[in-house]
Amino acid sequence: MRPLTALAHDALCEVLHGDDRAIDATVGNGHDTLFLASRVAPHGHVIGFDIQPAALTATRSRLTAAGLDANATLLACGHERLGVEIPPDWVGTVAVVMFNLGYLPGGDKGLITRADTTLAALQQALPVLRIGGLISLMVYPGHPGADTEVQVVEDWLAQIGDQCRVTCHASPGPNLYLITRLA
Ligand SMILES: C[S@@+](CC[C@H](N)C(=O)[O-])C[C@H]1O[C@@H](n2cnc3c(N)ncnc32)[C@H](O)[C@@H]1O
C-alpha cells in the first residue's frame, strides 16, 4: 500500500498549483513545507506554523537549500492562532492546509499537538480555504493524549456536514483525512 504521506501529497497535487497559497499547520522537519513551497513556486506562498524553534530552523535550511526561501514564511507560534496570523486577504483563497499531528520525529515527544489546540486550528482552517480547497489531516494514535485528540477530530468531522466532503484512508497506525470544502 502506498504510504499515507504519499497519498496526502498525491491528493494535494490535484488542487495545488503554481502561484497558489498554502498553509503548513505543523511544519516539523519541513518535508511537507518544502513540498508545498515547491508546488506553489515561483510566485505562490506557504505560511508554516510550529511551536518548536528547532523545527523552524531545520525547515528554513531545507527551503534555502532548495532555493525556495522566498516562497515560505515560517511562524514560531501555534496553529491555534492561524485565523489571526494569516493576512486578512488570504481568507477564502487558500488552496490547501496540511496538518501532520503528533510529535516531531527525533524531537521532544513532550511537544505534541493537543486536542484543544488542534480543534481550534481546524475550525479556523476551514473558512480560510477557497471553495474546492483541501485540508489534509494525518492523525496518529498511540502517544499520550492521542486518544483524546483522535476523538476530538472525529467529533469535528462528524459535524462539518454539507460544507465538506471527507475521505478517510485508515491504517493500523495513522488515519489520513482529506477534507474538501464544498461551500
Ligand atoms: C509530526 S510533526 C510534523 C511533521 C512535518 N509536517 C514534516 O514534514 O516533517 C508535528 C509537529 O507539530 C508541531 N506542533 C505541536 N503543537 C503545535 C501547535 N500548537 N501548532 C503548530 N505546530 C505544533 C510539533 O512541534 C511538531 O514539529
Looking at the 3D structure of the chain, how many domains does it have? 1
Separation between Cα atoms, residue 44 and residue 2, nearest integer Å: 28
CA of 80 to the centre of ligand 1 (A): 12
The ligand 1 atom at the shortest distance from the C-alpha of residue 49 is 21
Burial class (CB in 10 A: 0-12, 13-18, 19+), 96: buried
CA of 140 to the centre of ligand 1 (A): 12
Residue 110's pLDDT is 83
CATH of the domain at 112: 3.40.50.150
Per-residue pLDDT of the chain (183 residues; tens, 9 = 90+): 899 999 999 999 999 999 999 999 999 999 999 999 999 999 999 999 999 999 999 999 999 999 999 999 999 999 999 999 999 999 999 999 999 999 988 888 888 999 999 999 999 999 999 999 999 999 999 988 899 999 999 999 999 988 999 999 999 999 999 999 999
* Protein residue closest via CA to atom 20 of ligand 1: 78
* Residue 142 backbone zone (phi > 0: left; psi -120 to 50: alpha; other: beta): left
Q: What is the pTM of this model?
A: 0.97
Q: Which domain holds residue 74?
A: 4-181
Residue with cell 488552496: 95
CA of 143 to the centre of ligand 1 (A): 14
Residue 43's pLDDT is 96
Residue 107's pLDDT is 81
CA of 99 to the centre of ligand 1 (A): 8
Q: Determine whether the shortest distance from the Cβ of 174 to ligand 1 is under 6 A.
A: no
The ligand 1 atom at the shortest distance from the C-alpha of residue 138 is 1
Separation between Cα atoms, residue 70 and residue 68, nearest integer Å: 6
Cell triple for 2: 502506498
